[in-house]
Amino acid sequence: MREEERIEKGLLFCPGNPDLVAIKRKTHKLNQDYNRLYEDQTAEREAILREMLGGIGEKTFLQGPITFHYGTHTTIGHHCFINFNFTVQDDAKVAIGDHCDFGPNITIVTPVHPMLPDERLRMRCADGEIRRLCYAKPVSIGSYCWLGANVVICPGVTIGDNCVIGAGSVVTKSIPANSFAAGNPCRVIREITEADSMRHKPEILADCAVIEEEP
């Protein structure tokens, strides 16, 4: 079984496998290429993202600097804004929906290491060789989500559509759709409802207006 298949099945795999190392080295170079470009070099930046990632939607903007581990394991939807210092350790799949807003210093991690120190250092593979192994759990973030600054998303987490995750949160468990969640560890504070509309905050709304939906 190829190491990529082992990752997809949630099995122990060897991150030092030559095929995986080749993917990571290519991606790490593309990270550096992207981060050397100016913000207005839009065509060059977009070309790098399309080469590096598993998929990226239209009108999605990554401020940079960015750090993807594999890149090809990550998909990002349409019309997303991702602020400074975005880090994705995408050993397993990472899926981000449409119309998401990410604050600075967002980190998404998927790999998990054995808890016992001896097992972290070495284990025996199916071929009899002794290697350093880990496993990984995918992360999924729905559409229309807002993640505040310095949020960490841990392996295996799913965040539903329309969620707001407070700044500095460490998300260790999945968050249902339409939730405001925050803290370390992150927990659901309450459901997001119509009461959160800016129309109920005239002192902030000032001379702006909420756009009413067509009947």
d(CA 71, CA 125): 26
Rounded Cα distance between 29 and 31, Å, is 5
**HEC profile for the chain?**
CCHHHHHHCCCCECCCCHHHHHHHHHHHHHHHHHHHCCCCCHHHHHHHHHHHCCEECCCCEECCCEEECCCCCEEECCCCEECCCEEEECCCCEEECCCCEECCCCEEECEECCCCHHHHHCEECCCCCEECCEEECCEEECCCCEECCCCEECCCCEECCCCEECCCCEECCCECCCEEEECCCCEEEEECCHHHCHHHCHHHHCCCCCCCCCC
Known catalytic residue at 73: no
Number of neighbouring beta carbons within 10 Å of residue 6: 18
Distance (Å, rounded) from C-alpha 189 to C-alpha 49?
A: 35
User: Which of the residues 78, 79, 99, 113 is marked catalytic?
Assistant: 113
Question: Catalytic site residues?
Answer: 113
